[in-house]
Amino acid sequence: MSKIVFYALSQKFLEREEDMPAQAKQVMYYTLAVGHHIGVIDCLKTVLECPLEGFSNWIGLLPEGEARRKLEGVLRFGEISIDSSHIRMLGAALDGLRATLAPEALVWQDTLMQAMAAIEAEPAMYLMVRRRDD
């Protein structure tokens, strides 16, 4: 069964500890400077799963516009990311749906809104949204 899965960044770590400078502050600047060259790995955790058909119906209720195009991207490309630059646009569009949602879609939406609130509180976080065909 096909589904859409929302993953949230849960932590980052260095693949090779011997490359880590002694002081934590240096690690932050060092990893920003060289990034993937030292093996910075993002750990993602599942925060929401929706059946493909339910997801399509849910986002199909959004008005035409940027928020709908953003979320439909996972149907077209198989994967999208949601970061701090998307939060206000998506939040405003999704909030307008509350009164029209079925109970199951309302749970999905509330979960997504909570994940987006976490991104708003910590802009380095993000969501990865993928289509999975199991």
| 7 against 35, higher pLDDT | 7
Span of 15-24, 61-70, 86-95, 101-110 with lowest mean pLDDT: 15-24
- Specify the pTM: 0.79
Q: Report the DSSP beta bridge partners of residue 109.
A: none
Span of 3-12, 37-46, 73-82, 86-95 with lowest mean pLDDT: 37-46
109: Cα separation from own chain's centroid: 13
State percent of the chain over pLDDT 70.
75
pLDDT of residue 43: 78
Whether the Cβ atoms of residue 46 and residue 5 lie closer than 8 Å to each other? yes
pLDDT of residue 35 exceeding 80: no
For the chain, how big is the Rg over CA atoms in Å?
17
Q: Report the DSSP beta bridge partners of residue 45.
A: 8
Domain boundaries, the chain: 2-6+47-133
